[in-house]
Chain A
Amino acid sequence: MKKRFSIQKTITYLLLSVAAVISLLPLYWVFSTSLQLKSYQDEDLERPTSYVNANPPKMFPVGITEYFEHWGKARDAEKIGDSEQEAYHRQVMDNIVTDMFSGFRQLFQQNSMGLWFFNSLYIGIVVTLGILLFDSMAGYVLAKKRFPGRNFIFWLIISTMMIPSQVTLVPMFIMVRDLGLMDTHWALILPDLSMVFGVFLMRQFMFSIPDELIEAAKIDGASEWKTFWKIVLPLARPGLAALGIFTFMNVWNSFLWPIIVLNNAKLYTLPVGLKTLQDANLADFKLLMSGAAIAAIPMIIVFLLFQRHFVKGLTLGGVKE
């Protein structure tokens, strides 16, 4: 009995591990290609012109192993006092590092990668803060207050969640153009702030806050705003964390609308910048993967830091009625 159990477990681990490798391989490939040696030449060895375009593909960044090889040789040369050899290997090491990171350097020097990164970051933060404030305000009164039109407003908002966002593309384009917002960040921020998913999520969350606390604040003479700000919001923190992370992720990754309204390269967000980068360098995969790596890292960090909030947000958002 015991033995059969462990066989089952082994098979489970085996299957899941294979699936996990398939799942993570593309991301690994982004980072591996971004660091792969590209044009570096070493007179000692016969090399292909590029390890990025190698057949069969190099599964690991060659530069890393070579760097340590030369590091060892430089140390050996140092021991026997061969300063000429040592200097040579140190030079090779420098060249390897330069070549490994050449994609990143090119992105920041010849393209506006830093600017795109900054644009994505600040738009993400502005929209996230706005959504957190407006959606928790709306969610709070929709869950806790009784007033004429409450159900109508709620259902009006929720019913539009069923409509695919592409339906509004054309009218919004005409509107943004006529308002003179074309090629500005307002054209991204305002529509993003109007997303309604958070209202639904915060309303669900607000139900779990006990009425007694709100009543008590009222009896103590706190104004509506003070009650909301001092009592309700702190209690809603887990919901806010989940909503904030999802909003930031959506804004950071949003693509279709930004490529429609942004034409000025200085205003691009990261996804738009990556698309134009690919359009201009179709076959320079080291450069493209360097850009992809820079765009991927922040979300990976956010995810690893706040994993449980992701889980919470997903399970809160899942309709279970």
Chain B
Amino acid sequence: MEISGAFKNAGKNLKRTGKQIRKNYAAYLFLLPKLILFTLFIAIPVVWAFVLSFQEYRITESNIFAGLDNYKQVLESEAFREALLNTTIYTVVTVPFNVITALIAASLIHSLGRFAQNFFRAAFYLPTVTSMVIIAMVWRWMYNYEFGLFNYVIGWFGMEPINWLGQTNSALMAIIIMQMLIPFGVGIILYLASMSSISESLYEAATIDGANAFQKWVRITIPMLTPSTVYLTLLSTIGSFQVFTQIILMTGGGPGYATETLVHLIYKTGFRDFEFGLAAAQSVVLFLIILVISVFQYRVLNRRN
């Protein structure tokens, strides 16, 4: 009795769902083009990447099950360890610096008049709309040993010229300095937008209590901007772990492994050596690293409130 009742119910539900689907066929048609593209070029490749990472897959031989061999090889290789270390150093230095300077810049801009706000916002966002290819090319020129702008500028302070990109001990530093000096345009714009939505009454109350501008900034502005800070930190950490364009155009990962990064290594493994299985395993590891860091950051940064 019970079983047949359950069947009857299930049948009814199914029928109702079927009716709903037929009634809303237009909605599915609207979704169809995007869903097809999404399935073909995102969903299938993502699943396939995981499958590939367990296979030995090269140009000539393919589909050989390899178990965890690829992962073992990834974790044991010196190149991967160097790439992971470099990418981590790069991220740990540049992300906090860029988020904090964006916060300071936005706070300064916010206190200005409308025209000045627009001007500085544009000045800081312009490098972000310019392709990283262009930025990397001009920085390579500015880091030039003989005629570069950088060595000229440090000459003012009595320093000897440095072969920025050509030496093991300065190449990664050069890439990091470059990232620090490119303003975090997205951050500045998002901070500015969030700042204008902080209620004026909070500041008025603080003024009555005798708080000065700096106290208000620390006690009101920064806490109220926490959601933006969390978002921007996540966003730029994820972006930072994917650093590639500067590397291939400025150093090629060298000298040695001095500026090797995770994505550049994936590129080399996959499309210079055509070790598809290995490259897939490297990219899965990259994904897992980014996932773990994102969850961790989200938890830590959100704990305060």
Mark B187-220 against chain A: 1 for CB-CB distance below 8 A, else 0: 0011001000000000000000000010000000
Mark B243-278 against chain A: 1 for CB-CB distance below 8 A, else 0: 011001100000000000001001100110000100
Residue of A at shortest CB range from B277?
A: A170
Q: Which residues of A contact B10 (CB under 8 A)?
A: none
Contact A19 B249 (CB under 8 A): no
Mark the stretch among B74-82, B86-94, B115-123 that contacts chain A: B115-123
Answer whether residue B35 sits at the interface, using C-beta atoms and an 8 A cutoff.
yes
Q: Which residues of A contact B21 (CB under 8 A)?
A: 147-148
Contact B266 A169 (CB under 8 A): yes
Mark B167-205 against chain A: 1 for CB-CB distance below 8 A, else 0: 000000000000001110010011001000000000000
Q: Which residues of B contact A12 (CB under 8 A)?
A: 108, 111-112
Contact A53 B108 (CB under 8 A): no
- 3 closest A-B pairs (Cβ-Cβ)? A147-B24, A168-B45, A171-B48
**The residue from A8, A141, A172, A194 contacting B30, defined by CB atoms under 8 A apart:** A141
Contact A54 B127 (CB under 8 A): no
Interface set of B (CB-CB < 8 Å, partner A): 17, 20-21, 24, 26-28, 30-31, 33-35, 37-38, 40-46, 48-49, 52, 57, 105, 108-109, 111-112, 116, 118, 120-127, 129-135, 137-142, 144, 146-149, 152, 155, 181-183, 186, 189-190, 193, 213, 227-228, 231, 238, 241-242, 244-245, 248-249, 263, 266-267, 270-271, 276, 279-280, 283-284, 286-287, 290-291, 294
Contact A138 B244 (CB under 8 A): no
What would be 18 A-B contacts, judged by CB atoms less than 8 Å apart?
Answer: A26-B138, A27-B138, A55-B146, A145-B24, A160-B43, A164-B287, A169-B283, A171-B49, A171-B52, A172-B45, A173-B271, A194-B37, A278-B137, A285-B147, A292-B137, A300-B130, A303-B126, A307-B121
- Given the interface pairs A134-B37, A315-B190, the reply to whether A26 lies near B290 with Cβ below 8 Å is no
Answer whether residue A114 sits at the interface, using C-beta atoms and an 8 A cutoff.
no
Question: Within residues 287 to 308 of chain A, which ones have a CB less than 8 A from any CB in chain B?
Answer: 288-289, 291-292, 295-296, 299-300, 302-304, 307
Contact B280 A170 (CB under 8 A): yes
Task: Report Cα–Cα, A310/B24, bound state, in Å.
Answer: 35
For B20, B42, B149, B241, which residue has the most chain A Cβ atoms within 10 angstroms? Answer: B42
**The residue from B31, B44, B152 contacting A57, defined by CB atoms under 8 A apart:** B152
Interface set of A (CB-CB < 8 Å, partner B): 8-9, 12-13, 15-16, 19-20, 22-27, 29-30, 33, 52-57, 133-135, 137-138, 140-142, 145-148, 150, 153, 156-157, 160, 162-175, 190-191, 193-194, 196, 199, 224-225, 228, 249, 252-253, 255-256, 259-260, 270-271, 274-275, 278, 285, 288-289, 291-292, 295-296, 299-300, 302-304, 307, 310-311, 314-315, 318-320
- Given the interface pairs A29-B149, A256-B244, the reply to whether A194 lies near B40 with Cβ below 8 Å is yes
Task: Report Cα–Cα, A288/B43, bound state, in Å.
Answer: 39
Contact A311 B133 (CB under 8 A): no
- Given the interface pairs A166-B263, A174-B276, the reply to whether A315 lies near B193 with Cβ below 8 Å is yes
Residue of A at shortest CB range from B111?
A: A12
Give chain B nearest CB distance to A169 CB in angstroms. 6
Contact B138 A20 (CB under 8 A): no
Give chain A nearest CB distance to B21 CB in angstroms. 6
Contact B186 A314 (CB under 8 A): yes
Task: Report Cα–Cα, A29/B44, bound state, in Å.
Answer: 44
- Given the interface pairs A54-B147, A55-B152, A148-B20, the reply to whether A307 lies near B118 with Cβ below 8 Å is yes
Q: Which residues of B contact A318 (CB under 8 A)?
A: 190, 193, 228, 231
Task: Report Cα–Cα, A142/B34, bound state, in Å.
Answer: 12
Q: Which residues of A contact B266 (CB under 8 A)?
A: 166, 169
Given A27-B127, A55-B152, A164-B283, 19 more pairs with CB closer than 8 A: A16-B120, A22-B183, A26-B142, A29-B138, A53-B147, A137-B30, A160-B43, A164-B238, A165-B242, A167-B287, A169-B279, A256-B267, A292-B133, A299-B129, A303-B122, A307-B121, A318-B193, A319-B231, A320-B227
Q: Which residues of A contact B133 (CB under 8 A)?
A: 253, 255, 271, 274-275, 292, 295
Contact A30 B24 (CB under 8 A): no
Task: Report Cα–Cα, A134/B114, bound state, in Å.
Answer: 37
